[in-house]
Homo-oligomer: A and B are copies of this chain.
Amino acid sequence: MRTINIGMVGLGTVGGATYSILQGQKKRLESRIGAGLEVRKVADKRPETRAKFDVPRTVFTTDAQDVLDDERIDIVVELIGGLEPARSFMMKALESGKTVVTANKEVLARSGAELVALARRNGVGLYFEASVCAGVPLLRGIHQGLAGNNISEIYGIVNGTTNYILSKMSLEGMEFSEALSKATKMGYAEADPSYDIDGLDAAHKIAILASIAFGKWVTVDMVFKEGIRHVAQRDIGYARELGYAIKLLAIGKKTAKGLEVRVHPTLIPKDHLLASVIDIYNAVFVNTDCAGPTVFYGTGAGGPSAASAVVADILDASRSILSNSRMGFESGLGIEATNDVVDIGSLVTKYYIRLRVIDRPGALASIAGVFGQEKISLASVRQTEERKKVVDLVFMTHEALESNVRKALARIADLEVVKEVSSCMRVEDRI
């Protein structure tokens, strides 16, 4: 029986879970591919990780180069994370004729096209299911399962931390800061939470999703992003009264003007399926021409979940190697970069806007006047009922051009009656 030889780099949470599945489920996994599966080398620069996952001394190394140098190794599993040295390492692996399986969203969202090109040039596979929403079989689902479709739109809740925070705000009435503390206490948020809450994590994921769905490579720097720090409890409340839930959505859309790729807190109809995705869960809504709307839902994070995707990739990679074929994400994916991502200023959508305004006659008229001059037509206005000196004014606009909205809000911020432009969030109600 032929054996597929695996070399792993990075023995952290995901690496450890992957190693455990490969050892614990060895027989079952081998029967799935009709061949042996052997982990020949595991590299981690922290020698103490070896004992933690019970890796034999003959297999463990602190030098990743040992994995590249081992000629028996067919598949290199990169689970270090971060841009470098992971990217250089993967490139070397592909160049030396090894198939690469990775969970690395940073590298894919920046250098996916180069990696695919390199894999093709060297006749080897490239697999990265775990890079987006961990164990949810999402990239495969889009790449293979929906291959017959033209995909027009993707709306994803792809970051568990922010979804947890927004869920706590929505269901338990917490303010952002309190919900963030709770997320930190639960281990869902990092000590420095900005990667999650400012939308950077989601931006990486939508770059990869959009690349696979639309067939050209989008890099993370092309993604417009806005996080959830400024979402207030009262926004959640007003949105609810208007029939909406607030979610941090990662959006990719093919439009006549070009590609929209953006991450921001978004008002969606509160009876939409995505609105009922709460807690740390992820869900990605994909709109297609034939299969209709399709949703993939799951945990989306954590060692075992990511390891599930890594193992699925290893099995597919093994079957490709055994049959001397190329069936990975590298096949059927283009290597061209997208050049038609549209600027956020030319977005046309509805907006939710909340202002803090001095409650005096003529205040609304002066604000509404600016909206009118900037060609923004209003669908509704709501004023908090309390008789206070400063009140909330909440506007829902009809469809408007983002650059006009920005101009209007800059002018409105300067009005004497306006204390603050507190919120401006995009609305997606044809989702």
List the interface of chain A (C-beta within 8 A of B).
17, 21, 25, 29, 31-34, 129, 134-137, 140-141, 144-150, 271, 273, 276-277, 283, 288-299, 302, 304-305, 307-312, 314-316, 319-320, 322-327, 331-332
Contacts and interface: CB of A to CB of B under 8 A. Distances in A.
Contacts of A308: 146, 148-149, 288, 290-291
A144 B148 contact: no
Contacts of A273: 273, 276-277, 297
21 contacts: A21-B148, A129-B145, A134-B291, A135-B146, A137-B146, A141-B145, A141-B296, A144-B312, A144-B316, A145-B312, A148-B309, A148-B311, A290-B307, A290-B308, A292-B298, A292-B304, A294-B297, A295-B296, A296-B297, A320-B323, A325-B327
Q: Is the interface of A mostly helix, strand, loop or mixed?
A: mixed
Given A33-B332, A293-B298, A307 B148 contact: yes
Contacts of A134: 291
Contact of A292 (B21, B135, B294, B325): B135
A257 B276 CA distance: 34
Contacts of A295: 283, 295-298
Nearest to A148: B311
Contacts of A129: 145
A324 B322 CA distance: 11
A217 to B, nearest CB: 16
Contact of A137 (B144, B293, B314, B326): B144
A172 B141 CA distance: 34
A297 B145 CA distance: 13
Contacts of A149: 135, 308
Given A291-B299, A325-B323, A311 B32 contact: no
Contacts of A136: 291, 294
Given A141-B141, A146-B312, A296-B296, 8 more contacts: A136-B291, A140-B145, A146-B308, A148-B308, A148-B311, A290-B308, A325-B325, A327-B327
